[in-house]
Amino acid sequence: MKKFVLLTGLLLLAYAASALPKGKIRIEITPDRAGDWCYSVGDSVAYDVAVTVDGKPLKNASVKYTFAREKMPAYETCEATLPEGRIRVRTAGMTCPGFLTCRVFLLDEKGATVANDLAQAAFEPEKLRPMTDMPDDFAAFWEQARAEQAKIPMEPRVERAEQWCTDKVDVYYVRLQSFRKDNYVYGYVSVPKSKGPHPAVLYVPGAGVAKIKPSTYMAEKGVITMTIGIHGIPLDMPDENYDILKNGALNGYQFVNLDIRDQYYYKRVFMGCVRAIDYIFTLPEFDGERMMVSGGSQGGGLSIVTTALDPRVKYFVCFYPALCDHMGYLYDRAGGWPHMFDRTRTCFRTAERILNSRYYDAANFARLIRVPGFFSWGYNDLSCPITSMYSAYNVVTAPKELVLELRNGHRRSERQNRLADAWMLSRFFGNE
CB 323 within 8 A of CB 336: yes
List b or e across 304-317, with b for residues whose CB sees 16 or more CB atoms inside 10 angstroms.
Answer: bbbbbbbeebbbbb
The CB density around residue 371, as the number of other CB atoms within 10 Å, is 19
Bridge pairing between strands 169-177 and 157-160 = antiparallel
Rounded Cα distance between 392 and 131, Å, is 10
Output Rg (C-alpha) for the chain, integer angstroms: 25
Bridge pairing between strands 286-296 and 198-203 = parallel
Rounded Cα distance between 172 and 175, Å, is 10
Active-site option among 190, 297, 303, 357: 297
CB 405 within 8 A of CB 378: yes
Cis ω for the linkage preceding 197 (within 30 of 0): yes
Rounded Cα distance between 27 and 53, Å, is 9
If you write DSSP's letter for every residue of 224-276 in order, what string do you get?
A: EEEEE-SSSS-SSS-HHHHHHHHHTTTTTGGGTTTTSGGG-HHHHHHHHHHHH
Question: Is 62 part of the annotated catalytic residue set?
Answer: no
Alpha-carbon dihedral sign for residues 187, 192, 198, 201: negative
Question: How many residues in the chain?
Answer: 432
Rounded Cα distance between 111 and 94, Å, is 30
Bridge pairing between strands 98-107 and 113-123 = antiparallel
279 — phi, psi (to 5°)?
Answer: -70, -45
Active-site option among 198, 326, 339, 410: 410
CA 39 from centre of chain: 24
Question: Is 381 part of the annotated catalytic residue set?
Answer: yes
Active-site option among 117, 198, 381, 388: 381
CB 46 within 8 A of CB 27: no
The helix (run of H) or strand (run of E) holding residue 221 is: none
Bridge pairing between strands 224-228 and 315-319 = unpaired
Burial category of 235 from C-beta neighbours within 10 Å (exposed 0-12, middle 13-18, buried 19 and up): buried
Quick check: helix, strand or coil at residue 334?
coil
Cis ω for the linkage preceding 338 (within 30 of 0): yes
Active-site residues, by number, are 297, 381, 410
